[in-house]
């Protein structure tokens, strides 16, 4: 049997017991989830960020799906790298980007096993990846953000909100008692997870009714953080 000699060995053991969920079936069956039915529209909070803050030169998207947010950023002359675990989603994203005449560096793979340039991104965005991570991989996620972001860089997050009946509402210990595909977060928990490394700019509910942006995500948090200097 393998031995546990360091923290990565421990993470790998837990990964084997609680493997990441595959979403290829979703992109093949194409259910009427908003992010698939409206796969060419950006999140409203992303559109707000790019309109209100200095435009990043380089952006990284974690869990890009079919690329709607990555393509939106690339259309604004941002150098975008976008990663998703589903090869099928990335294949769709590449076709959509080609059809729209934009260039995005799409990568299919595990965000924790993908080599990324250090401190190279002014902005990291995540719309629906973080809430599917196992609790131990949230620690890896924080390390990834610390490596990828420039000092003072921004981090945007859209994730399931506790109390909206949209995902499992369990604490980290309970997560390991049973297999959970996704979990919801309270505002307090998000502040706890990200507060040490990031200054919180806002945590609010997703706004519907904004033309040109995806609709039907009112059950999610929209968050913006800035990496501490």
- What pLDDT was estimated at residue 1? 57
Point out the residues of the chain with pLDDT beneath 50: none
Domains of the chain in start order, with CATH, are 37-227 (3.40.50.150)
Name the pTM for this structure: 0.96
Structure tokens at 102: 């934009």
What is the C-alpha separation between 88 and 65, in angstroms, rounded?
9
Write the pLDDT tens digit of every residue in 136-168: 999 999 999 999 999 999 999 999 999 999 999
| Farthest-apart Cα atoms in the chain, separation | 56
| pLDDT score of 180 | 87
Contacts of 158 (CB under 8 A, 6+ apart): 43, 45, 126, 127, 128, 206, 217, 220, 221, 222, 223
How far is it, in rounded angstroms, from Cα 49 to Cα 224? 8
Q: Which residues pair with 201 in a beta bridge?
A: none
Give the dihedral of Cα atoms 150, 46, 164, 133; nearest 10 deg.
-40
Structure tokens at 85: 């675990």
């Amino acid at each position: 049997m393998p031995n546990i000699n360091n923290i990565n060995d421990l993470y790998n053991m837990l990964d084997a017991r609680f493997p990441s969920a595959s979403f290829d079936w979703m992109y093949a069956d194409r259910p009427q989830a908003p992010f698939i039915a409206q796969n060419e529209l950006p999140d409203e909070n992303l559109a707000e960020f790019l309109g209100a803050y200095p435009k990043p030169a380089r952006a990284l998207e974690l869990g890009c799906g079919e690329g709607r947010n990555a393509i939106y950023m690339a259309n604004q002359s941002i150098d975008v790298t976008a990663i998703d675990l589903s090869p099928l989603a990335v294949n769709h994203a590449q076709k959509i980007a080609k059809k729209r005449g934009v260039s995005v560096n799409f990568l299919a793979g595990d965000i924790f096993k993908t080599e990324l340039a250090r401190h190279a991104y002014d902005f990291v965005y995540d719309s629906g990846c973080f809430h599917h991570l196992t609790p131990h991989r949230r620690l890896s996620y924080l390390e990834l953000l610390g490596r990828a972001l420039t000092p003072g860089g921004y981090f945007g997050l859209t994730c399931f909100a506790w109390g909206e009946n949209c995902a499992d509402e369990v604490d980290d210990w309970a997560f390991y008692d049973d297999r959970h595909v996704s979990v919801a977060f309270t505002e307090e928990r998000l502040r706890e997870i990200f507060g040490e490394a990031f200054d919180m700019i806002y945590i609010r509910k997703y706004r519907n009714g904004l033309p040109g942006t995806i609709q039907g995500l009112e059950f999610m948090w929209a968050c913006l953080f800035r990496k501490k200097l």
